[in-house]
Amino acid sequence: MRIFSFYLLFSITLLANGLQAQEKVHFDVAAAQTMKQIYHLFGNVENQLLLERFPFDEGFKADYLNNTEQASQQKKYAYLWPFSGSFSAVNALMELPKKKREYQNILDQKVLVGLAGYRDQKRLPVGYASYLNNAPVSDRFYDDNIWLGIDFTDSYLLTKKQAYLTKAKEVWAFVMSGEDDLLGGGIYWCEQKKESKNACSNAPASVFALKMYEATNDNHYLEEGRRLYHWTKEKLEDPNDGLFWDNMSLNGHIDKAKYSYNSGQMLQAAALLYRLTQEKQYLMDAQKLGEACYSYFFQDVTGQEFKLLKNSNLWFHAVMMRGFISLFEQDHNPKYLAVFAHNLQYAWNYMRDEKGLFYTDWTLKDRKETKGLLDQCAFVEMYARLAKLGY
């Protein structure tokens, strides 16, 4: 514990020394203020649903669905994936000292009330659809459900409320229905488009399984987490830099795009596997991957003494940070989290508009009026997670 405290103090000192010219913000305050603005500007108190964009964007198309017909249908409320960002954000806030009851109330009375509208019982196994059940039928994505499963498991680990674990087990059953023997196993991306097996539906499934093992002490989940980790590593790891490609099609073609959340979830899975098994190879995997992520997803910027995150989906970066936190909890190296903290101080000072919402361009060149729900939730999560560690 003394070693951990020393490294944490050292990391925070590095941060303070590098930010003397900037307005300091307490990260717990930043997280709480931003969450409050999300509910104020994106929220609907009647049904606890959230807008996807603020201000409402008539021309917005959800191209991430990979479904032209569904993407072109304007929806009043957020799709499941952006909405789920509020679940992760509130969970992270719930971990802050003396905040559990306050944010568990928000979880139960806002997040889960809204989330219930996406739960699809018409198709079996039960899962969460990409859009609300009172609209025309929508696709169901395994990765969308995995993020919810992780959140439900985290909620249970924080509170020991059995209802959260029951929901996590329901999600796990749906996720496992998305695996077959093609390509030697692996979980598909979309239930209605079983064309590829993706890093985003296998790396986080490993994390989900390992968290379920923590919640249940059922060895089956540990072995599933290990198996999915090794499947993803075998099929999608770039041998040149150790980062992870996006997906493999059933014909064996690999989409070699690299996104921070894919490698970040493999980083978290490796760190969790080390913690749970004490097998040194997993720690070595995590440390190697952590340095690869740092080299690839951050950039040197003239005039800055620290590396800035590259422009990308901000929530991808928040998910990557989960991996760095899990690594820090094992090797106590403050290097990477100190850089995240620099970035978040920078964002607070230079990347917010007059309403307290964040722009997404780290270079400060693109300052769009319209803000995305998922981006804002990502900032809440990052501030809250670092606040828990004392930043």
Which pairs with CB-CB distance under 8 Å and at least 24 residues apart come from 306-312?
306/18, 306/338, 306/339, 306/342, 306/343, 307/339, 308/343, 308/346, 308/362, 308/363, 309/343, 309/362, 310/362, 311/360, 311/361, 311/362, 311/363, 312/259, 312/260
pLDDT score for 15: 46
Report yes or no on whether pTM surpasses 0.95.
no
Segments forming the whole domain that contains residue 368 = 2-388
Sign of CA dihedral 321, 325, 326, 327: positive
pLDDT score for 71: 59
CB 8 within 8 A of CB 329: no
Give 253-280 pLDDT, tens digit per residue. 999 999 999 999 999 999 999 999 999 9
Cα 106 to Cα 331: distance, rounded to the nearest angstrom: 34
pLDDT score for 62: 72
pLDDT score for 69: 65
pLDDT score for 19: 42
pLDDT score for 263: 99
pLDDT score for 16: 44
pLDDT score for 142: 99
The CATH number covering residue 242 comes to: 1.50.10.20
pLDDT score for 68: 64
| Domain count for the chain | 1
Q: Which residues of the chain have pLDDT under 70?
A: 1-22, 63, 66-74
Give 75-133 pLDDT, tens digit per residue. 889 999 999 999 999 999 999 999 999 999 999 999 999 999 999 999 999 999 999 99
